[in-house]
Amino acid sequence: MNNKITTSAPGKLMLLGEHAVVYGRPCLVTAVTVRIHVTVSRQGTPGLTVNAPQTKDLRFIEKAVFHATRSFGASHDGLHIETVSPFTGVYGFGSSSAVTTAAVYAIGLLSGRQVSPRQTFDISYDTVMDVQGVGSGFDVAAASYGGTVYYRNGDIKTIEAVPFLSGHTDAHLVIGYSGVKSSTVELVTQVAANMKTYPEKVTRIFDAIADLVSEGKAALEKSDYEKFGKIMDFNQEYLRDLGVSSGKLEDLISAARRGGAWGAKLSGAGGGDCMIAIASSDKLEAVREAITRAGGEVVNADPDAQGVRIETTDNQAELFVVVDKNDNILGFRSRADCHGDTSLIHRAAGVAVFDSGGRVLLQKRSLTKDVDPGVWALSSAGHVKKDEDYETCARRELKEELGISAPVVFAGKFFYRGAHETEMDSVFTATYDGPFIPNSEEVEEIRFFTKDELLRKLLSGEIKLSECAYQSLKTIRFL
Ligand code: MEV
């Protein structure tokens, strides 16, 4: 079982539909590339301990622990939580929702669960509502799912992925910080007071905003960013009518439009925080300059960021050996390159360790691995590094993952194509009865299996074997 997990969750920016979303209308929100990191570990000390210097309101973490441990049937006793964040509440990127989401996800993984975005969302939403009382949960949806999301609150919550700018080189989102910190709770309360006094007028505004969100979604689906800009402009007019804009935000929005943006609006609760503009490549610099000249701070963050995720312990810069289909060396590429490009065939070596009774040792991979976290794999396996041959790699992995030195015998080779990588795999066998010293950063658990026992557990679904381990065991005719 892992004793320590680090996760991260992104911040968010509202593209269209703020305030109306609190009243059951849809909105469009994008996750941004500014991430908060949360490390959850199990320590010997009793109770919960938290070290989160950048988190203003620790209740988000404490309640996340309460809701997550209850949902995952885990204990909060001995949990220690640390957070590291490049963003505080300053820009209104939703740091409280991000820290909540990252904590919930980490606690789930630490309890040995495979946690879905929906589960993360549901538990994080309950946590945020418990602390804050108001809010639509759009920020939690962005942190849990990532990308760009069409979101609607209600008995059944709609969360739908929408394309936004990814792979598009001619349109850009510019973010301008007004320098004024705003309070979402105060602004939502102010709008609620307006709703009470002028229900028809405010309802009309919300319905009009809902129409804009639908049109905006359609524009994004067609990559029509010029139209999306116009829709942002219209949305801004309604936000001004609601009374949530400010002189400073209006200055930055007008400046962005004068700089040639297709459209601009405030983003979030209003009153301060950030405005956003959408602009073509040839106007990008002019828009950024115009915002700066008007007294705004252009924030460097990109939209459509990945949702909550494990921060892997694997070194992404490590060089692997790239080969052709006949295993001739072509060159060397990083782990990050090899794991994102299936045309880069790279060498790997695995060892099937048998005890003197003929049972095979398998390992459950650590949840912090970048490939196949939490699934069962061969006794030990790894990628052949630059300056290594297969056998050196096989012996190194035995030492690193299981803490043993044992003679290995070459048993076969196969070509493996996974969803994200392509390998040339050599399989070795070794005989060893233990003791083993598994590396807890790489290996969650090890166990010997007879052939019958393994087949039974695979068929019943009790354990999940990685495709690569399955092919290795077939190559050596164990399966
Ligand atoms: C705040 O960023 C956006 C609001 O719509 C509130 C919410 O949806 O929780 C004003």
Secondary structure (3-state) at 360: strand
Residues within 6 Å of ligand 1 by CB? 14, 18-19, 21-22, 135-136, 138, 184, 188, 268-269
Q: Is the peptide bond before 438 cis (omega within 30 degrees of 0)?
A: no
pTM recorded for the entire structure? 0.74
Within the chain, what is the greatest distance between any pair of CA atoms? 81
Q: In the 8-state DSSP scheme, what is residue 215?
A: H
Q: Which strands form 274-280's sheet, in the order they lie side by side?
A: 263-267, 274-280, 171-177, 297-299
Q: How far is the CA of 167 from the centre of ligand 1 (A)?
A: 28
Output the pLDDT for position 2. Answer: 56
Which ligand 1 atom sits nearest the alpha carbon of residue 273? 2
Output the pLDDT for position 313. Answer: 66
Q: Nearest residue CA, atom 8 of ligand 1?
A: 136
Mutate to test the pocket of ligand 1, among 19, 32, 97, 274 (most ligand atoms within 8 A of CB): 19
Output the pLDDT for position 88. Answer: 63
pLDDT in tens, 407-454: 999 999 999 998 778 999 999 999 999 999 998 777 889 999 999 999
Output the pLDDT for position 1. Answer: 47
Q: How far is the CA of 141 from the centre of ligand 1 (A)?
A: 12
Question: Is 271:180 a contact under the CB 8 Å cutoff?
Answer: yes
Q: How far is the CA of 18 from the centre of ligand 1 (A)?
A: 5
Of 435, 389, 313, 407, which is closest to residue 351 (Cα–Cα)? 407
Mutate to test the pocket of ligand 1, among 15, 16, 21 (most ligand atoms within 8 A of CB): 21
Q: What is the pLDDT along the chain (479 residues), one digit of tens a residue?
A: 457 889 999 999 999 999 999 999 999 999 998 999 999 998 877 889 999 987 889 999 999 999 999 999 998 889 999 998 876 667 889 999 999 999 999 999 888 887 899 999 999 999 999 999 888 999 999 999 999 999 999 989 999 999 999 877 799 999 999 999 989 989 999 999 999 999 999 999 999 999 999 999 999 999 999 999 999 999 999 999 999 999 999 999 999 999 999 999 999 999 999 999 999 999 999 999 999 999 999 998 889 999 999 887 667 788 999 999 999 999 999 987 898 788 999 999 999 999 999 999 999 987 766 667 778 999 999 999 999 999 999 999 999 999 999 999 999 999 999 877 899 999 999 999 999 999 877 788 999 999 999 999 999 988 999 999 999 999 999 99
Question: Is 228:220 a contact under the CB 8 Å cutoff?
Answer: yes
Q: How far is the CA of 269 from the centre of ligand 1 (A)?
A: 5
Q: How far is the CA of 187 from the centre of ligand 1 (A)?
A: 9
